Amino acid sequence: MSILVDQSTKLLVQGITGREGEFHTRQMIEYGTRVVAGVTPGKGGTSIMEVPIFDTVQDAVRATGANASAIFVPPRFAPDAVLEAVDARLDVVVCITEGIPIQDMVRAMVFVENSPVRLIGPNCPGVITPGECKIGIMPGNIFTKGPVGVISRSGTLTYEIVYELTQAGLGQSTCIGIGGDPTPGTTFIHALPLFEADPETEAVVLIGEIGGSDEEIAADYIRQMAKPVVGFISGRTAPPGKRMGHAGAIVSGRTGTAQAKVEALAAAGVPVADTTRDIPALVRQALG
């Protein structure tokens, strides 16, 4: 069992003929993801890596039955790519693109929020169900199948912590990198109920960072969860007033500080690791 993606997922790649799109499509295919189509306007009727290319997402969906998309297009075109995927009513859309103007993404999110589509990102590493399906840029070799769900705002921290879990013999059910932009399609509060409902996820690792209030909101939900959650907050040593990391890592007064997030999670009964190396031990304790 998994959440969002599995071996039945049929993926199309928007921007498949670009440098990043082609490289990561190859990686996803090698991992075992069923990439059934690519979309590049003007290149319909051609193919790359034996994957047929279409001019539009609608054409690709009609021809292949694709139900998920990975977006690798330049920032100025990414909001339209998201809207095209929403119009095709795909189940899951993963927008890898970073640097999208906030006002453009805000307008696109109006349509996302009024659709059944699950958007992950933008500016995210993607989602992976180990051994079944990888959508995005995560290094598949560090993941292994197991009972730990992972959800993170930070891409590189995701890799580091997953590696620590794998080395400790703690495999993962599904890992979601939600990205660090101010307007993510999926937040902690969206993903936690999915892990709570997944029978094969026994514990969840939540990886947060300074900026925003997503972790505090998540803490309120975690109070009613039956499954244990282990937390980690990056940026605890960030100098006051210093803007660091993602566009969403903006601290205003006390709101969004690492300390406020740690306190909120601790009050909800979540053990918060001081370092990434502490996480496997806390997960083992949570699993009993």
- The 10s digit of each residue's pLDDT in 229-276 is 999 998 765 555 555 555 444 555 455 788 999 999 999 999 999 999
Q: What is the pLDDT of residues 238-251, one digit of tens each?
A: 555 555 555 444 55
pLDDT of the residue at 94: 98
pLDDT of the residue at 285: 97
Q: How far apart are CA 231 and CA 26, in angstroms?
A: 33
Strand partners, 39: 14, 54
Sorted by where each starts, the structural domains of the chain and their CATH numbers stand as 10-120 (3.40.50.720), 139-287 (3.40.50.261)
Kindly indicate the confidence band of residue 2, based on its pLDDT and cuts at 50, 70 and 90: confident
Give me the torsion for CA of 138, 139, 144, 146, rounded to 10°: -10
135, 68 contact by CB (below 8 A)? yes
Q: How far apart are CA 203 and CA 55, in angstroms?
A: 42
User: Which residue of the set 134, 190, 227, 246 is catalytic?
Assistant: 246
Q: What is the pLDDT of residues 28-61, one digit of tens each?
A: 999 999 999 999 999 999 999 999 999 999 999 9
3-state helix/strand/coil string of 180-192: CCCCCCCCHHHHH
Q: What is the pLDDT of residues 79-108, one digit of tens each?
A: 999 999 999 999 999 999 999 999 999 999
Please say if 24 is a catalytic residue: no
Q: Is 109's pLDDT higher than 70?
A: yes
